[in-house]
């Protein structure tokens, strides 16, 4: 990639070349007796449209206006010279300016205007030899026309190619942003669903205990407070990753890793439940694999709360098998839950989880165990 200084030198060289060619046009027009006023005006309009700095360019000076007005000025000069049966002059400066305007029209004008303005610039370029009224021979005229057509086609093709690259780049950026938004939405859904489901379950327990065991309410209320706090912290960490700065004293650890699985399982159990984590994996696994394993455990534990709140034992296992990371979550629930229907989810969590796992080349399976209970198992390929 060229440095800004090199780009500035190249831009300055182009500006200098255009100005030098314009001076040649004016001087040659004066020395040939054609007069310098009309060629100078046409060149002034064209050079202003091409060389006006973008940072200082007014809003009204759109690409349409920049490319159409100089072309019309050139065509008017040609038409008046030809209609008056008088010879006029054109040179390399005006030709270069019209080619620059053709390039700008094809690359930067809106689609319909690109055709109109491009044709205007091409017409101005191809008709300039007509100013030599009566001076061109039958052999010279086709040569001027052929050179003009070749130059116009070459410049227009280059501009169209660069415009297509711009379009593909814009589409790629839009697709990337859309995928990022979907990924962010999925992460927020996972965090919020997990913690809010826990709050809902513990709130139901608190309501039942309020009448029979009011003295035991404090641990349940503390659990509700902790789940709400963790939900806010999870969202704050997610936003912090997006902004590349969490600020304050927020934990800067990436959201979702092996350490997060330990915290997740240690805070999950409700009264009467036992959650056991069996982990024998190194801590230097790629972060995307750790994040996916975290999501597997998180979604599995969320489903336990939604669909098997009566489970008394939940086992979370992480291990290596032939270099593959194996993650499994099993429970002994029988499907006993009293959550409202709206809190059960629509099965989209497992769908998104499978997409995340398969994107890393892994496999995800979920289904009932023998007797009773449920198991979610994921296998990730070696890093």
On whether both 107 and 206 belong to a single domain, the answer is no
Identify the CA nearest to 28 among candidates 43, 12, 13, 49: 43
Q: Is residue 142 part of a domain?
A: no
On whether both 93 and 233 belong to a single domain, the answer is no
Q: Is residue 261 part of a domain?
A: yes
Q: What is the pLDDT along the chain (383 residues), one digit of tens a residue?
A: 455 555 566 677 788 888 888 888 788 777 666 677 888 898 899 999 999 988 888 889 899 999 999 999 999 988 887 777 666 677 788 899 999 999 999 999 999 999 999 999 999 999 888 877 555 555 666 777 888 899 999 999 999 999 999 999 988 888 877 877 776 667 666 666 666 776 766 676 677 667 677 776 777 677 777 767 767 776 776 666 666 544 444 444 445 788 888 888 887 777 778 889 998 888 888 888 888 888 888 888 888 877 777 788 999 999 988 888 999 999 988 765 555 554 445 555 677 778 878 888 889 988 888 878 889 999 998 86
Domain limits at 340? Answer: 174-380
Query: CB-based burial of residue 22 (10 Å sphere; 0-12 exposed, 13-18 middle, 19+ buried)?
Result: buried
On whether both 108 and 253 belong to a single domain, the answer is no
On whether both 112 and 203 belong to a single domain, the answer is no
On whether both 132 and 188 belong to a single domain, the answer is no
Q: Is residue 148 part of a domain?
A: no
On whether both 114 and 214 belong to a single domain, the answer is no
On whether both 295 and 241 belong to a single domain, the answer is yes
On whether both 34 and 115 belong to a single domain, the answer is yes
On whether both 121 and 209 belong to a single domain, the answer is no
On whether both 103 and 184 belong to a single domain, the answer is no
On whether both 61 and 117 belong to a single domain, the answer is yes
Domain count, the chain: 2
Q: In CATH, what number is assigned to the domain containing residue 356?
A: 3.30.565.10
On whether both 23 and 85 belong to a single domain, the answer is yes
Quote the pTM value.
0.56
């Amino acid at each position: 990639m060229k440095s800004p200084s090199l780009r500035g030198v190249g831009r300055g060289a182009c500006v200098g070349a255009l100005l030098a060619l314009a001076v040649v046009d004016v001087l040659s027009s004066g020395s040939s007796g054609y007069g310098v006023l009309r060629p100078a005006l046409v060149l002034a309009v064209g050079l202003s449209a091409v060389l006006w700095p973008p940072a200082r360019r007014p809003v009204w000076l759109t690409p349409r206006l920049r490319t159409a007005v100089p072309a019309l000025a050139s065509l008017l000069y040609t038409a008046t010279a030809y209609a008056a049966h008088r010879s006029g002059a054109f040179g390399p400066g005006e030709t270069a300016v019209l080619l620059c305007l053709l390039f700008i029209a094809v690359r930067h004008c809106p689609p319909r205007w690109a055709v109109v303005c491009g044709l205007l610039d091409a017409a101005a370029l191809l008709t300039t030899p007509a100013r030599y009224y009566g001076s061109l021979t039958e052999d010279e005229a086709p040569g001027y026309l052929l050179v003009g057509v070749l130059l116009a086609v070459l410049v227009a093709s280059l501009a169209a190619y660069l415009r297509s690259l711009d379009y593909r780049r814009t589409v790629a950026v839009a697709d990337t942003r859309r995928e990022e938004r979907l990924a962010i939405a999925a992460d927020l859904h996972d965090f919020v669903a997990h913690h809010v489901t826990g709050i809902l379950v513990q709130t139901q327990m608190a309501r039942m205990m309020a009448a029979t065991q009011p003295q035991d309410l404090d641990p349940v209320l503390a659990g509700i407070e902790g789940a709400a706090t963790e939900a806010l912290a999870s969202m704050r960490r997610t936003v912090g990753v997006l902004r590349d700065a969490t600020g304050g004293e927020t934990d800067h650890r990436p959201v979702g890793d092996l350490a997060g699985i330990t915290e997740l399982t240690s805070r999950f159990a409700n009264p009467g439940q036992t959650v056991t984590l069996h982990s024998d994996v190194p801590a230097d696994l790629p972060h995307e694999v750790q994040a996916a394993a975290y999501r597997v455990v998180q979604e599995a534990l969320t489903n336990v709360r939604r669909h098997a709140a009566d489970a008394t034992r939940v086992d979370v296992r992480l291990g290596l098998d032939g270099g593959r990371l194996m993650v499994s979550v099993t429970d002994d629930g029988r499907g006993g839950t009293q959550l409202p229907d709206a809190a059960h989810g629509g099965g989209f969590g497992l769908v998104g989880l499978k997409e995340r796992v398969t994107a890393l080349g892994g496999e995800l399976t979920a289904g009932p165990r023998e007797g009773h209970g449920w198991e979610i198992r994921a296998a990730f390929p070696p890093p």
